[in-house]
Chain A
């Protein structure tokens, strides 16, 4: 019973990790940039959701569409103004730029909102679903389902639509895509925008579950990196499975070993995967780390 509850709870939090990781993965796979400010976009999304709630009284779920559009626009602007100028610089420059962006955004939030924890109050927030003694909270289930829907929708978008195919083409071969007439810069901007829009959705889903404060992003972004590496960089379903996997590993190691050691355990897994199977557990094996989006 305890074990089942732990696994279910792990899956629920895993859904949240997956939701955050998919956007990060898209940006990594297409633009080939490690976006350390990803967590801060989550923080911005949560503050946006909170502000819409506190000023206009909008429920986080109904304001999700506004937050998603807002984050999409912020993503476009980031790519255009911050990332595009440094695209051809060495990887270390890119890392320092996004890391700097992350620190700047955190401190901006600290200035604007101070370090207080802000919370949204909704009627469904504390609703529990009880199935055979296993309990789940409603907002967790909603977040989980939206992770599944997003994973499937992204898959079809990338496989079936013209734009999706163009995105994959850029991810696989930037130069060849350019030669066949794809506007690579525009695809980058679009991919970055979609990536941050996904975080916008994640932020709206998280607002009923967590309080928002300036450094909330860092607690999630580290796990998102583990998830992305585990699932295979650039693989959408990989990020989804990876999120669930880490969620369950975290919960089980907390229950069976010690809650104080669960971070240590998934970071050990992270290092092992990088050493043994750098393309990720759920990828197609050696070589596919060079391929980009699946």
Chain B
């Protein structure tokens, strides 16, 4: 049995690491179509939202092809299945060196974006990020990266702006009297948003009374919740994945802990699985995330067309906002290529992109476009705040895109 014990130790360690593999997408090689690489996790753990993201990009490409393509040339997406960062590197290599592709779009997951863009940078290709949020993707200031979607730190900005613009007035309190607690999962995603929110809050003179990091694989978050109860905050910011989002809401109910304003962050709190799992407890939970579909359609022109095209192709409503964000991003990529007359040379394309500007509230997500010269980050994209109202995810902030006022009870 002793032997078994030591074996056990080794294998438990081994078990803590994941494994994965890669598979190949389709390929073709004549000079006709404009070929772009598309790198998303299409199988494996991240498949659900990875595929949802890819659908958005696919729809944008189909739309332009139906309208005659770019300068009469058809656009073709060459798929790469990036299950994890390792596979992402291998697939990026294949797309660039074997398929001779000069522009790649991706990728839903920050780890994948980070690894794949590294390959693009080394090989002088251009990497367009349409969905991954980690700040470090653009913080490296590579010449090869352009990102259309907002980074994680923008989520924190929206959190704090919302507290400043809306919550303070609704609660009838001064900013300096408002107590904020933050609970976040402790991977780089949760930590980035929490750290940034703490900094911004302090700059505004808002009190951060408690910060609770936890592992998203926890089965029990009693201690997190009791620590929050002890801190007695006015606003609770939670950054989580779906599993822990469900657990926190359930255990808060179990332990009889209520906070006046509950603001989630990212995917967990916006998913229908979340609303289904926690039932009426989801009511009035606020959430900062990519644009969702119950939104002011005047500020998001093109969304109706997107929804119609999506339903026609896939036979259901979008499963999350990811497809929309990728659709918008892909359209930006295609328009920039169009402005460059179908020229795919990475340096020239980047130059055209830097001069490409779009006003806010004129795209399907409501985002504008203006890339930062140094980092390649789109400065005019931002997450919005939604709220569960009568079982529907309604956009409530900022005002231009909101269809209802946020419901905040004292």
Contacts and interface: CB of A to CB of B under 8 A. Distances in A.
A binds B: yes
Interface residues of B, number: 50
B222 A251 contact: yes
A278 B5 contact: yes
A67 interface: no
A215 interface: yes
A109 to B, nearest CB: 12
Nearest to A263: B215
B7 A34 contact: yes
A223 interface: yes
B222 A6 contact: yes
B223 A211 contact: no
B9 interface: yes
A271 B279 CA distance: 40
Interface residues of A, number: 64
Given A211-B246, A260-B186, A254 B222 contact: yes
Nearest to A91: B7
A233 B220 contact: no
Contacts of A28: 4
B254 to A, nearest CB: 5
Contacts of B223: 6, 250-255, 259, 262
Nearest to B7: A91
A247 B213 CA distance: 19
B100 to A, nearest CB: 33
A119 B256 contact: no
A89 interface: no
B90 interface: no
A255 B9 contact: no
Nearest to B190: A260
Contact of A137 (B9, B47, B229, B254): B254
Nearest to B255: A135
Nearest to A114: B48
B8 A259 contact: no
B226 interface: yes
Interface string A253-273: 111001110110000001100
B3 interface: yes
Contacts of A116: 48, 273
B362 interface: no
A265 to B, nearest CB: 11
Main secondary structure of the interface of A (DSSP, over half): helix
B11 A99 contact: yes
B222 A225 contact: no
A36 B222 contact: no
B6 A34 contact: no
A215 B48 CA distance: 14
A289 interface: yes
B273 A211 contact: yes
B45 interface: yes
Interface string B36-77: 000000000101100000000000000000000000000000
A95 B212 contact: no
Interface stretch (B12-20, B106-114, B398-406): B12-20
Interface in A226-262: 229, 233-234, 247, 250-255, 258-260, 262
B217 to A, nearest CB: 5
A130 to B, nearest CB: 8
Nearest to A102: B15
Given A13-B219, A117-B277, A251-B222, A229 B15 contact: no
B220 A222 contact: no
A32 interface: yes
B11 A34 contact: yes
Contacts of B213: 258-260
B140 interface: no
Contacts of B229: 2
Given A9-B255, A121-B279, A215-B45, A222 B15 contact: yes
A110 B287 CA distance: 27
A117 B220 contact: no
A183 interface: no
B343 interface: no
13 contacts: A9-B222, A28-B4, A91-B7, A117-B242, A117-B274, A126-B279, A222-B15, A254-B222, A254-B224, A255-B226, A259-B224, A263-B217, A263-B218
Given A36-B11, A126-B279, A128-B256, 4 more contacts: A6-B223, A262-B218, A289-B2, A289-B5
Task: Report the 3 A-B pairs with minimum CB-CB distance, sorted nearest first.
Answer: A254-B223, A260-B213, A259-B214
Interface of B: 1-9, 11-12, 14-16, 19, 45, 47-48, 186, 212-215, 217-224, 226-227, 229-230, 242-243, 246-247, 250, 253-256, 271, 273-274, 276-277, 279
